[in-house]
Amino acid sequence: MIRFLRIAGKRLLGAVPSLIGVIIVTFLLSHALPGDPAVLFAGPAADAASVAQVRAHLGLDHSLPQQFLTYVWQLAHGDLGQSLTTGQPVMTDLLQRLPASLELTLVALIFAIGVAVPLGIWAATRPNSWIDHLCRGTVTVAAAFPTFFIALLLVYVFYFLIPLAPEPVGRLNDVYFDAPTTITGFYLIDSILEGNWQTFGGALAQIILPAISLGLFALAPIARITRAAMLQSLASDHVRTARACGLSRRRILITYALRNAMLPVVNVLGMVFSFVLGSNVLIEDVYGWPGVGAYAVKAVISSDYAAVQGFILMMAVLYILLNLVVDLLSMVVDPRVKFEG
Amino acid sequence: MSDTSLISRTRYALSENPMTLLAAILFALLIFCAVFGPLMAPYSPLLTNEGARMHPPSWLHLFGTDALGRDIFSRVLIATRLDLGMAISAVVISFVIGTALGAMAGYWGGWVDAIFGRVMDTIMAFPLFVLAMGIVAALGNNVTNIIIATAVINLPFYGRFARAEVNVRRDLAYVEAARMGGNGAVRILWGHIVRNILPVMLVQASLNMGWAILNAAGLSFIGLGVRPPTPEWGIMVSEGASYIFSGEWWTFVFPGGALVIAVFCFNLLGDGLRDIVDPRRRT
């Protein structure tokens, strides 16, 4: 346990340089590029007075290192600037919308992993059979669909043509359902905690299509890496021994082969997270999802730069945290990682 | 590798995976459309026609017409050049710069490698599409910046790959011999090492193309880069999205379908090339 904590601490420290890098890049993106950052932050409709005000607030008349210190100082106080479109602090805006995006992202990940890992295992148990080819073909085709296109296609087919799904109006259709009281901010969890199954059903029905759109692309990398890792694992000596000892098929597959194959799968999740977090931007608008992605798109279109910058920073921090969680998880899944760390 | 072994390996890879052949045909078709599309288009992509608004697909308009009466077939066809052009330019830029930087980092090691690693880690610390969005938002909203943003986010794929490949080769006997022969670092890197890793790097590039297409089209979909009325697949899907609830499916299905075909083609092609060049990496 102490060993676990020590390595966990080391991993946590390992994330610090990434965090510093992320802060420097977001700073450079706005402050060190050609063009006047004051004009950028003040927005397209600003007059000379508000540009001057922004310039003073960001300390833009000082040197670049000094500006950076001002930026870090403001960050440390949770100040991401004011949004021009909502008139609120960007931090407030983002925190208010974050649970919606996080819930969608997590459900999409559960969908992707829940479908792709069994698919990969299935393909690996019958390599080069028609099942294997079918699995590979399906995930390859799925990976070719742009997230935003699949989102529109699903809405068109499952709402407009065959009305199976509810109207894509966000997290909950508030004509029929009341939003659950905020405990975690996740509608699915909050409604269970309240015991309100009707709302749970409503929220679940709303999240299915966007989660599938978001998770579909991730099927291919996860399924293919699972297949490859399982093939290797199934060919190993310990699996042969287990077979020779007459253990059940299920036991061999799950306990012996899968646990040994999990490490490459966990490693590919980093790329999957990167993709899923980024794609929120593309599909939230389609489903009227009130998350940070839709907020960022609006900000980009109306040149609300403080909001864009805040969003980028928040997503990068989230991504680093998610990777950290996976890192720690992989230590639980595979004790060998502890000794390498 | 000798020519005969390349041909036999290609034949083997094609027989093992007939999809590669399909990919090659699609690829030829896409390139043909990109080159000759503007000549073949039956209508001007910008020609509006009040009398032919929102017509469903017919012999007159194969893919139907949009809200302004423009012919969607012509627009999808002509957009091929822009969409492929953006993706290819971005991939070429990140391929050249990434390979050069990665090769130097892998060859020299030390502080060059340390700085290189830090920079790549920092790019990878962002969800990549979000970083691309930030770059375009900061640099300015035009096609050049979409290409730059797509190139930057893909840099680590090439950089890290090249670094790892060079790193295992720099102390091999033939490199040592070249060094003893008095060759300078640049000559050894280019003439002896990078040439040897080019095939695997090209496989990376073709695997990366589909992602570059998705990325550039995604940026246009959210309103960055390409401005209307320029025909481009991403922006056409986004324009068509407004008509989804009135059932005018052809406005977004055809440009979206073109994107699917392009991405599918490059993904398959990358897989096929990898099976030929580097069969052990197959998953």
Last residue of a domain, one of A46, A76, A106: A76
Contact of B169 with B179, CB cutoff 8 Å: no
**Is A272 found in the same domain as A220?**
yes
Contact A296 B252 (CB under 8 A): no
Domain count, chain A: 2
Q: Which residues of A touch B234 (CB under 8 A)?
A: 146, 148
Question: In the predicted model, what is the mean pLDDT of residues A28-32?
Answer: 77
Q: What is the pLDDT of residues A154-183, one digit of tens each?
A: 999 998 888 888 888 888 887 777 788 888
Q: Are residues A65 and A178 in the same domain?
A: no
**Cβ-based neighbour number of residue A44 at 10 Å:** 10
pLDDT, tens digit, 9 for 90 and up, residues B198-224: 888 888 888 889 889 999 999 999 888
pLDDT for residue B13: 65
Question: What is the phi-psi region of residue A196: left when phi exceeds 0, alpha when psi lies from -120 to 50, beta otherwise?
Answer: beta
User: Is A108 found in the same domain as A190?
Assistant: yes
The whole-angstrom distance between B230's CA and the closest CA on chain A is 17
Residue with tokens 């980092």, as numbered in its chain: B105
Residue A93 lies in a domain: no
List all residues of chain B from 87 to 146 with a beta carbon under 8 Å from chain A.
118, 121-131, 133-135, 137-140
- Confidence label for B1 from pLDDT (cuts 50, 70 and 90): very low
C-alpha B44/C-alpha B75 separation (Å) is 8
CB–CB contact B264 A160 (8 Å): no
Chain centroid to CA A244: 43
Confidence band for B87, pLDDT divided at 50, 70 and 90: very high
Interface membership of B249 toward A (CB under 8 Å) = yes
The answer to whether residue A81 sits within a structural domain is no
> Which residues, in sequence order, are CB contacts of A209 under 8 Å at separation 6+?
A151, A154, A155, A158, A159, A165, A168, A287
Which residue of B lies nearest to A300 if distances are taken between CA atoms? B137
Are B135 and A160 an interchain contact pair (Cβ–Cβ within 8 Å)? Answer: no
- Closest approach of chain B CAs to the CA of A193, in angstroms? 32
Length in residues, chain B: 283
Give the pair of three-digit tokens for residue B29.
Answer: 């078709």
Sign of the C-alpha dihedral computed for residues A239, A240, A242 and A246 taken in this order: positive
Q: What is the pLDDT of residue B84?
A: 92
Q: What angle do CA A61, A62, A67 make, to 5 degrees?
A: 110
Domain shared by A268 and A302, yes or no: yes
Model confidence over A222-240: pLDDT tens digits?
998 888 888 888 888 888 8
| A55-96 pLDDT tens trace | 777 777 777 888 888 888 888 888 888 888 788 899 999 999
**pLDDT score, position B283:** 61
State the CATH number of the domain containing residue A307: 1.10.3720.10
Look at residue A340 and tell me if it is in a domain.
no
Which residues are CB-contacts of A119 (< 8 A; sequence separation ≥ 6)? A135, A138, A139, A219, A223, A226
A326 pLDDT higher than 90: no
**Cα-based distances in Å from B58 to B53, B61, B63, B250, B251:** 13, 5, 7, 11, 13
The pLDDT, as a whole number, for residue B150 is 94
Using pLDDT thresholds of 50, 70 and 90, give the confidence band for residue B230: confident
Q: Does B211 lie at the interface with A, CB-CB under 8 angstroms?
A: no
User: Of A278-282, A294-298, B167-171, B266-270, which gets the smallest average pLDDT?
Assistant: B167-171
Determine the pLDDT at residue A268: 85
Residue A341 has pLDDT above 50, yes or no: no
pLDDT given for residue B257 in this prediction: 93
B positions 18-57 inside 8 Å of A (CB)? 19
Q: Are residues A16 and A150 in the same domain?
A: no
Nearest partner of B268 among A220, A116, A271, A214, judged by Cα? A220
Residue to mutate among A102, A105, A149, A152, with most B CBs inside 10 A, is: A149
Nearest CA in chain B to A227: B283
Cβ pair A156:B139 closer than 8 A: no
- Whether pLDDT at A108 is above 90: yes
Listing DSSP states for B18-40 in one string gives THHHHHHHHHHHHHHHHHHHHHH
Higher-pLDDT residue of B207, B128: B128
Give yes or no: residues A233 and A271 share one domain.
yes
In a domain, A339, yes or no: no
Residues of A in contact with B214 (CB under 8 A): 146-147
Contact A320 B234 (CB under 8 A): no
Q: Does B278 touch chain A (CB under 8 A)?
A: no
Cα A327 from Cα A322, distance rounded (Å): 9
- Residue B62 and residue B72: Cα distance in Å, rounded? 8
Question: Which among B267, B245, B243 is positioned nearest to B255, based on CA atoms?
Answer: B243
In whole numbers, what is the pLDDT of chain A averaged over residues?
Answer: 84
A18 and A126 both lie in a single domain: no
Q: Count other Cβ atoms within 10 Å, centred on residue B55.
A: 18
Q: Does A83 fall in a domain?
A: no
pLDDT at A132: 86
A66 domain residue, yes or no: yes
Judgement on whether residues A67 and A120 belong to the same structural domain of the protein: no
Strand partners, A89: A82
**pLDDT band for position B4 (cuts 50, 70, 90):** low
Specify if A61 maps to a domain. Answer: yes
CB pairs under 8 A between A and B: 149
- Same domain? For A60 and A137 the reply is no
- Regarding whether A185 and A121 lie in a shared domain, the answer is yes
CA distances from B70 to A275, B42, B47, B76 (A): 34, 11, 6, 11
Q: What angle do CA B272, B277, B281 make, to 5 degrees?
A: 75
Residue type, B169: R
Q: Report yes or no for ipTM above 0.95.
A: no
Residues A164 and A304 in one domain: yes
Token pair 């949770």 is found at A78
pLDDT at A114 over 90: yes
pTM: 0.88
Q: Is residue A92 part of a domain?
A: no
- Domain shared by A148 and A248, yes or no: yes
Cβ-based contacts of A147 with chain B (< 8 Å): 214, 218
- Domain region containing A293: 98-333
- Residues of chain B in contact with residue A151, where contact means CB-CB under 8 angstroms, are none
Cβ atoms of A98 and A171 within 8 Å: the answer is no
Q: Which of A31-35, B60-64, B120-124, B198-202 has the lowest mean pLDDT?
A: A31-35
Q: Does B127 contact A277 at a Cβ distance shorter than 8 Å?
A: yes
CB contact under 8 A, A300 and B222: yes
